[in-house]
Amino acid sequence: MAVNGSASSGLIVSFGEMLIDFVPTVSGVSLAEAPGFLKAPGGAPANVAIAVTRLGGKSAFVGKLGDDEFGHMLAGILKQNGVQADGINFDTGARTALAFVTLRADGEREFMFYRNPSADMLLKPEELNLDLIRSAKVFHYGSISLIVEPCRSAHLKAMEVAKEAGALLSYDPNLRLPLWPSAEEAKKQIKSIWDKADVIKVSDVELEFLTGNPKIDDESAMSLWHPNLKLLLVTLGEKGCNYYTKTIDTTGAGDSFVGALLTKIVDDQAIIQDEARLKEVLRFACACGAITTTKKGAIPALPTEADALTLIKGGA
C-alpha cells in the first residue's frame, strides 16, 4: 500500500482522556523556573484522534470533559479537526483535567497534574455511546482510564463492546507514573488488559518498566508478546522504532506515530502480515512522529499527510 494512498474510510474510535497541557514559554527549565506557560490541548487518546483526521482518516473520541470553558474549548477543537464528538460527555461536578509539562535541561520530562478528581475520571459505563463504539474498525485506548472507578469500568465495557463488534484493539499504555498510587499498581493494571489487544505500542522507557529489564532488546520486547497479539511496537525516540510480528526488524514517536499507523491499517489490516508494506507504513509513521517534535504542544504540531510525505522525500 502506498503511503500516499486514498484516505481511509474505516472509523478509528479513541477512548480516554483529553486535557489542557500548560507548556513553559521557554525551553529547558523546570516547572518552578518557568516564567510563564502556553495552554495547549492534549491527552494521548485525543491526540491520536486528531492525528488520524489530519492524515485524512476518520476518527471519533469517547471520553468525559468538565462542563466548563476548558471542556467546551476542547470539544470544539475536536470538532474543528473533523473528529466525531458524539462520544463526549460533560460533567457538571468536576473540572476538565490540567497538566503542567516541561522538558528540563537534563532531558527529563516533568509533569504536574490537576485531577482531584477531573471529569475524565468520572465517566460511567452507562454513559458510553455504544452505537459509536460498535461502529469502530479500530478501537484505541491507553491506561490512564484504568486508574480509578468509575472510569475503569467504562474502559473495560467499551473494550468488550468494541471487540464483540469485530474492532481491532489498539493499546498504548502511555505511562504517567505520577497519576498512579504506586509503580506496582501501575504495572498491575497496565498488564491486566494486555492480552486483549491486537496492536500494542510501548516506548523504550515503558518496555523497561513493564519487564524490569534495562536492556532494550528483542528478547525483552518479546517477553511481552501474547498469543492473540498481531503487532508489537517499541518506539525508540530519535532512533525510530522496533516492530515485532512473527519476525523481527527495525525501522515513532508517540501519539502522532500511533495515529499515522492506525490510519494506514484501518482498511487493510493485512499490512501487519506483509513486511514490505509494513516497513513503508512505519517509515511514514516515524516521519509523522518526527514532525510533531518540532513545535510546542501536541495537537498544534500534528502533521498532515503532505507534511509527512515532504519529509520522507527530503530524507530519501
Cell 508489537, residue? 232
Of the residues 255, 267, 274, 307, only one is catalytic, namely 255
24 burial level (CB within 10 Å; 0-12, 13-18, 19+): buried
Report how far residue 30's alpha carbon sits from residue 12's, in angstroms, rounded to the nearest whole number: 36
- Nearest in space to 42 (alpha carbons), one of 68, 19, 71, 14: 19
CA distances from 310 to 5, 32, 101, 306 (A): 15, 38, 30, 6
- Bond into 150 cis (ω within 30): yes
**Residues contacting 67, CB < 8 A, separation 6+:** 90, 91, 92, 119
Residue 67 known to be catalytic: no
Please give the grid coordinates belonging to residue 184. Answer: 506496582
> What is the SS3 assignment for 75?
helix
CA 50 to chain centre: 10
Contact between 197 and 172 (Cβ < 8 Å): no
Report how far residue 269's alpha carbon sits from residue 199's, in angstroms, rounded to the nearest whole number: 11
Active site residues: 255
